[in-house]
Amino acid sequence: MKKLIAGNWKMNGKFGQNTALLDAVLAGLKEKPPTCGVAVCVPFPYFVQVQDYQDRSRDESGNPMLSLGAQDVSAHEAGAYTGEVAASMLKELTVSYVIVGHSERRQYHGETDQLVADKTKAALAAGITPIVCIGETLAEREAGHTEEVVKRQLAAVIHTNGHCISEIVVAYEPVWAIGTGKTASPQEAQAVHAVLRAQLKAATDQFARVKILYGGSMNAANAASLLAQPDIDGGLIGGASLKAPDFLTIIAAAQN
Ligand code: 13P
């Protein structure tokens, strides 16, 4: 399966800084065109800036080497939802991917499994690929509940989206590994990915299409060993996506 490397800038950036980062990423991609998909999920105010790089990254067949992604989407189509952005609006801005259910949104904004499932549905209806994040906290892992938690989170998304589930991307992001420098070992990550793969298999005969990304302190040094695991189909990269050389090294490690 073609891998996917997606950067999650989170709430970081400044126009000048972004230009330097994107110039270096684009130059690296042009020098060595990737065989994996590459996306950056950026704050809303930077969409137009990234769109320009997306256009400039097109290969000879017109496909962008660098795709634009968002970090959140409303579960609603339109209406009186102050501050929210609808999936159809993202689509108009040529957004290809949207992160839904990131643990930071579950934790700080009270997003429930059902809301995440509804946001996934809204993204799919607009033709945007949702990157659905799931993952256990440290307390849940230490209590031996990892499998139960990730399966519950994914089950809500499967239940609400039915056969369309084959169009999503899943990101396993153990909460204790996010921004902490602690990474799940390749074996620990693979074990959870295998559980998720089996769950997807039970839900759709198209399960082999669903990419399962790993996220949580993935960096230039550990990417290759994580990406070598049979059920790790790419990465969702936070901190390291803000440094062009590191991001490019991770992309290079994702070549098939
Ligand atoms: P870090 O790579 O900074 O740990 O962040 C991971 C993440 O949350 C990506 O969505």
Torsion on CA atoms 23, 251, 86, 112, rounded to nearest 10:
-140
Per-residue pLDDT tens digits for 233-254: 999 999 999 999 999 999 999 9
Answer yes or no: 173 catalytic: yes
Q: For residue 39, give the 3-state DSSP assignment.
A: strand
Segments forming the whole domain that contains residue 123: 4-253
Residue in this structure with the two tokens 């290759």, named with its chain if needed: 224
Q: What is the pLDDT of residue 159?
A: 97
Closest-CA residue to 6 (of 71, 59, 103, 60): 71
Task: Pick out the chain residues at pLDDT < 50.
Answer: none
**Considering its fold, how many domains does the chain have in total?**
1
Find the CATH number of the domain harbouring 149. Answer: 3.20.20.70
Which sign does the torsion angle of CA 33, 35, 36, 37 carry? positive
Which mutation among 133, 134, 170, 178 tests ligand 1's pocket best, with the greatest number of atoms within 8 A of CB?
178
Long-range contacts of 45-49 (CB under 8 A, 24+ apart): 46/9, 46/13, 46/15, 46/18, 47/93, 47/95, 48/93, 49/15, 49/18, 49/19, 49/22
Measure 2 CA to ligand 1 centroid, in angstroms.
21
Candidate list 136, 167, 173, 193, residue with the active-site label = 173
C-alpha separations of 241 from 9, 41, 93, 222 in Å = 7, 10, 22, 14
Q: What is the pLDDT of residue 78?
A: 97
Q: What is the pLDDT of residue 133?
A: 98
Per-residue pLDDT tens digits for 35-80: 999 999 999 999 999 999 999 999 989 999 999 999 999 999 999 9
CA distance 123 to 62: 24
